[in-house]
Amino acid sequence: MDQDKLHIRLRVDQLERLLMFDYEPGTQDALFDICDQHGHIVKTGEVSGPVTRVRITDLAGEEYYLMVLDGDTSTVKPFQLRRVA
C-alpha cells in the first residue's frame, strides 16, 4: 500500500467538539477505533473518507489513540485532545 495512505492528519474543532481525520479508505469496510491510554475502545465507527468527523463530547480524558483498520492494513496514531492541530 502507498505510504501516503498510511498518513493520517488529525485536528479538533473545539467549538463543535469534533475530531476530524483525513484518510482515504482503500476498502468499503474501513473502520476506526478510538482507544484510551489503557487500550480500551471508547468509540468506534466507519471511516467516511476523505474526512471522517467524530463527535467527542463524551471523551473525558486527554490522551487517546486513533486506530484505522482498512482491509489488511492498520494504522495507529496517538493524540491528545488539547494538542491536536
End-to-end CA separation in angstroms for the chain: 26
Contact 64, 42 (CB under 8 A): yes
How high does pLDDT run on average in the chain? 87
Q: Which of 14, 13, 30 is nearest to 70 (CA)?
A: 30
Domains of the chain: 3-80 (2.60.40.3080)
pLDDT in tens, 35-69: 999 999 999 999 998 999 999 988 888 899 999 99
Banded pLDDT at 6 (limits 50, 70, 90): low
Alpha carbons 76 and 69: distance in angstroms, whole number: 9
For the chain, give percent helix, strand, coil, nearest 5. 5, 50, 45
